[in-house]
Amino acid sequence: MTAFPFAGVNLAITTPFDAQGKIDFARFEHLLEVYIAAGVQGFVLSSGTGMHVYLSKDESKELIAFGAKVIAGRARIIAQASALLVDEVVERTRHARDCGADGVMVLPPFFEGPTDDQGIIDFYTSVAAAGLPVIGYNVPQAVGVEITPALFRQLSQIPNFVSVKDSSGDLAAQASLMRTGLPTMNGADPLVPYALYAGAAGLIWGGANLAPKTCVALVKAASEHRWDDAREIWKALEPVMSLIWQGDYVQSVYAGAEIMGYGAGHPRRPLARLAADKVDALRVALAPLSEEMR
């Protein structure tokens, strides 16, 4: 994992909102400092967990610029640059580059975009020309486009295309991407230890908002091949990582982070705060992680 520039935990950090639904930059700075102190090695700014789709282009760019200034080289920065228009993706990528980001994460064309391999290759070729390492994003259940092993091999020929984050939730499908020998990143929370054992190059992890110290400890144990230790750490993490993956993911991460003392306010509309019974279930699942709060 050490040769890959985005190894370890890359936290898909929540975007804090105030009572009026505006980005709370003071709280965002506080969270970044707390997560850096916890040992987080990289951040995905304007992540899906951070409600990228519900931020305006200007808000996303301001968030990335602010976050990069706070981080100031103390951790890696991946900026999500996904958008419907390729020219906008290129614009966002250039902005991230100018802010000092180390890479961008970009969904393939979605919402009636091209689904043929060549169309996707052309899209990522345009993005990669903007001058930052590009991480593709495989989440076929959400966008209707699958990055297959064959497509991954073709994409890897594009200068600056460095990896694919797989959030399919299908370990067998992720393993098939790994078998290409190309750096594959896991983005499915319940698969973390299995993906690490199978050879994932790095993690983009939204659930790590809830328990960053424990998540960092798990990855450290795995990187040192201390699999018995990793298994014990995972026993505490597994209940909540499986629960949040079952539905209402973003709302669950926001609610769970609040419970654990890493609060970012409530999700922005149209997402509602998590239902009370689900919050109760989260509290139960988080109980084994009580040491995280000390």
Count of structural domains, the chain: 1
Average pLDDT score over residue span 250-274: 94
User: Using CA atoms, how far apart are residues 253 and 135, in angstroms rounded to an integer?
Assistant: 23
In the prediction, which pLDDT does 1 show? 40
Q: Can you read off the two tokens belonging to residue 81?
A: 């640059």
Q: Is residue 90 part of a domain?
A: yes
The verdict on residue 83 lying in a domain is: yes
CATH number for the domain harbouring residue 149:
3.20.20.70
Indicate the pTM of the whole model: 0.95
107 in Cβ contact with 143 (< 8 Å):
yes
What's the pLDDT tens digit per position in 144-180? Answer: 788 999 999 999 999 999 999 999 999 999 999 999 9
The range of the structural domain enclosing residue 149 comes to 9-226
Answer whether residue 293 shows pLDDT above 70.
no
d(CA 64, CA 171): 31
Read off the pLDDT of residues 88-146 as tens digits, 9 standing for 90 and up. 999 999 999 999 999 999 999 877 777 789 999 999 999 999 999 999 999 888 777 88
User: Does 285 reside within a domain?
Assistant: no
Domain membership flag for residue 294: no
Domain membership flag for residue 250: no
CB-count exposure of residue 116 (10 Å: 0-12, 13-18, 19+): exposed
Q: Per-residue confidence at 2, pLDDT binned at 50, 70, 90?
A: very low
Any domain includes 128: yes
Mean pLDDT for 187-203 is 97
Tell me if 288 is assigned to some domain.
Answer: no
266 in any annotated domain: no
Give the pLDDT confidence score for residue 294 in this predicted structure. 57
Q: What DSSP string describes 49-85?
A: TTTGGGS-HHHHHHHHHHHHHHHTTSSEEEEE---SS
